[in-house]
Structure 1
């Protein structure tokens, strides 16, 4: 009897690995075998972290890796270089891996579930005759934007290199939020060279893969993004994935979680703590770091602040003189936090966030208001959802020098924490989103629909083998 065998491959970034691993755990809980393919560099980080315990049967989840084409000392935060390197080397390496797996007739790959940012996988799937599904770890609206590239070019919103041509807000449809072309996901990743590489090697490949894929599954909900799912009904919402396994620890972290912050939270009053975390990519200069530090001190409120270590593993920032002594136990600093558990803690009052999609979904799923501080890529659009559509948070504004000042930060925190309407909106959206998770509801139904499709493909393959 052949196993139903899925190969899953994420883009090598924290916010992509974690949700696809959650989806893979859902697959294994339904009896599917999963080979999860990270890059060598990412695989090492995941397996060395506390998140390496993936909490599913070892015979159903196999963690493997292939090279990304970069040298060990190369900077993988250079997304242009990383994306181009992967595009050039990884297709051949993935094909080699699949051929090796398929030597065992009972283990042959039934389908590939690829992160939509790994659109090049389409070439491998077509060449090897394997069905392809795309996984969207970001908002459905961002995927819809990538699928609308040709229309944006035809309408002269962008040129053939993805560069914005008009300084005006645009809508993909009347039911979707306004978008600023300057903040299109490929237009605000880095310098102009990096942006063009991302557009050519990633976004254009996304469009091809999305059109050709048999299924597209998204870590989102119809309730949150009705307009995007209506515009492209091929996209199937199966989120929020990170809210489906509250009884188990999240998997796929690149750093070890510091769980001492949970004990510290237990000692704080209900609804009193400012939680501050900016994901795995955000970088501040020293001046901006100091402004944030002093603002948190000025609030006189307890705060939990995730200060991520630098590439060397050590702290890249210097705190203001005497800072740690002044804040004492009122501030808790950690290098990485168990975020789902933190946001679900009754002591947390609000979430100062970079607005990455995982963080956005976790905040919404836990009814926590946001202070929005996007850094790059899709985060600016996610802020639009939070502040303008769902009305569950407030944004921060930079001064004329490009700095978010301590006064701006403390002012927005004060406004947010005193705004009853925002808190009520956050709780209302929490109820709507979490209603999708229960048995018999949309998440469960859509996930079952997708798994049934995977099984049907396996049955078809077995019939073909029998008829040979």
Structure 2
């Protein structure tokens, strides 16, 4: 039998790379060979933070291709980055695949592409390669993408994705309401950026998903029954990291500061506030100070991740005398081994931006949330946490758009004295972790997906009807 060689390509963002690397790890554990393709810029970041002990196994190789951006271009400009990638990268990916096919004699059998990288579907179709789409966000988010035509028909949005109605909407009666102003493409940046994201990332992503032989998602039926019932073609295989609780995560853009684990060892059980806001959140100086003072006012131990180049000490000034006052009660690091932190018995709650990876990690470890969404799908994720799962509380902004120190102190006390929320978090943890155990729903879906990949087809891949897959 011919070897099975899978090419995996994520969107060049931290929250997309890590879960797809976990998918790749699952494939290699099952004997499949994987070529993991990052942009050159992301590849450099990952490799600089990579250590020998991170290497999953010999069946995975990490490679890179250019994203088309110049040395002085700003990759934080997501509109320009996505536009450039969709124009430049298809040709580069084709050349990479041709080179792999010639070099090792094992042709790429299947491509697993991030839903953001819709242009990959055209490469797969041209080169007659089986295609799967991976959603790093919630199933509800994927359902939103798949429902774009309905939103257009119902005049919820215009042809550029701009919301037309200032009212909540539902994709189905079994799903939570959504605020159109918080649709991912409507709150990424300015109007020009939002238009690019809608037309390239969303519309091309929808088209690619409809072409793909499989759509897999880092979620569970237990978390989102409404979304999976609305689109049964979306297969839950998560939470991915729940199967990797005692192993080091790979794919981080920054070096993890493991000294925080030693510090956690010295704190009482269920006492520490863990505050971390992902790879994109940016606070202005005023908000940074309010967060710092809010953590101080709780009089509780806290672990605060202040990412380099975003919300950290390199960019902001701490309040006068702050470090001296908090002393060893506060531990501030630039990047943390989050999976291990959330699994630590000293952690009492997770103050989070509610990115889907962080949400899955918090849920998988039974940790209550303090929700502070920043942009994109994070608003809807916080709705899940606060209103549907009831495993956390939201932090509210004042009239000037600031989450004040008093709000932070008050919500921390409310959350940590709420035994109902704590128990809900533990109950949900049991359900979702159980789903990835051998023989259960997400685990079974993963094995079926791997078996689908292994079905060798020398001819053009058949874009079969996803809904018939069981």
TM-score, normalised to structure 1, is 0.96
CA distance in 2, matches of 1:396, 1:123: 42
CA distance in 1, matches of 2:403, 2:178: 23
Q: Residues 51 and 252 of structure 1 are in contact (CA less than 8 Å); yes or no, is this contact kept in structure 2? A: no
**Mapping 1:161-172, distance limit 5 Å:** 161-172=160-171
- Alignment correspondent of 1:238: 237
Q: What's the CA shift for 1:461?
A: 2.3
> In the comparison of the two structures, how many residue pairs are matched?
461
CA distance in 1, matches of 2:48, 2:304: 23
- Alignment correspondent of 1:302: 301
Alignment partner of 1:27 is 2:24: no
Q: Residues 52 and 251 of structure 1 are in contact (CA less than 8 Å); yes or no, is this contact kept in structure 2? A: no
Q: What's the CA shift for 1:462?
A: 9.0
Q: What's the CA shift for 1:353?
A: 0.1
- Alignment correspondent of 1:461: 458
CA distance in 1, matches of 2:433, 2:460: 40
CA distance in 1, matches of 2:104, 2:334: 45
* Partner SS, residue 250 of structure 1: coil
Which blocks of at least 5 consecutive residues in structure 2 are unaligned?
Answer: 462-470
Alignment partner of 1:338 is 2:342: no
**Mapping 1:369-408, distance limit 5 Å:** 369-408=368-407
**Mapping 1:203-214, distance limit 5 Å:** 203-214=202-213
- Alignment correspondent of 1:353: 352
CA distance in 1, matches of 2:165, 2:85: 32
* Partner SS, residue 435 of structure 2: coil
* Partner SS, residue 331 of structure 2: strand
1:244–1:292: structure 2 CA closer, same or farther, 3 Å change rule? same
Instruction: Return structure 1 stretches of 4+ with deviation > 6 angstroms.
Output: 311-314
Q: What's the CA shift for 1:124?
A: 0.3
* Partner SS, residue 319 of structure 1: coil
- Alignment correspondent of 1:258: 257
- Alignment correspondent of 2:57: 57
Which blocks of at least 5 consecutive residues in structure 1 are unaligned?
Answer: none
CA distance in 2, matches of 1:365, 1:200: 34
- Alignment correspondent of 1:199: 198
- Alignment correspondent of 1:151: 150
CA distance in 1, matches of 2:273, 2:56: 34
Q: Residues 51 and 253 of structure 1 are in contact (CA less than 8 Å); yes or no, is this contact kept in structure 2? A: no
* Partner SS, residue 132 of structure 1: strand
- Alignment correspondent of 2:118: 119
Q: Residues 35 and 61 of structure 1 are in contact (CA less than 8 Å); yes or no, is this contact kept in structure 2? A: yes
CA distance in 2, matches of 1:463, 1:428: 46
Q: What's the CA shift for 1:281?
A: 0.3
Q: What's the CA shift for 1:437?
A: 1.8
CA distance in 1, matches of 2:311, 2:174: 46
Q: Residues 9 and 38 of structure 1 are in contact (CA less than 8 Å); yes or no, is this contact kept in structure 2? A: yes
CA distance in 2, matches of 1:151, 1:443: 29
Q: Deviations over 1:335-375 (max 9, x none)?
A: 00000110010000000000000000000000000000000
Q: Deviations over 1:67-101 (max 9, x none)?
A: 01111332211111111110110011101111111
* Partner SS, residue 348 of structure 2: strand
- Alignment correspondent of 1:94: 93
- Alignment correspondent of 2:362: 363
Q: Residues 282 and 311 of structure 2 are in contact (CA less than 8 Å); yes or no, is this contact kept in structure 1? A: no
Q: Residues 51 and 251 of structure 1 are in contact (CA less than 8 Å); yes or no, is this contact kept in structure 2? A: no
CA distance in 1, matches of 2:433, 2:242: 8
- Alignment correspondent of 2:46: 46
* Partner SS, residue 103 of structure 1: helix
Q: What's the CA shift for 1:409?
A: 1.0
Q: Deviations over 1:149-204 (max 9, x none)?
A: 01000000000000000011101011111000000010010111111110011100
- Alignment correspondent of 2:321: 322
Q: Residues 280 and 310 of structure 2 are in contact (CA less than 8 Å); yes or no, is this contact kept in structure 1? A: no
Q: What's the CA shift for 1:439?
A: 1.4
Q: Deviations over 1:16-44 (max 9, x none)?
A: 00000000000000000000000000000
* Partner SS, residue 438 of structure 1: coil
Q: Deviations over 1:78-133 (max 9, x none)?
A: 11111111011001110111111111473100010000010110110111101100
CA distance in 1, matches of 2:339, 2:72: 32
* Partner SS, residue 133 of structure 1: strand
CA distance in 2, matches of 1:301, 1:326: 13
* Partner SS, residue 102 of structure 2: coil
CA RMSD of aligned residues (A): 1.6
- Alignment correspondent of 2:223: 224
- Alignment correspondent of 2:285: 286
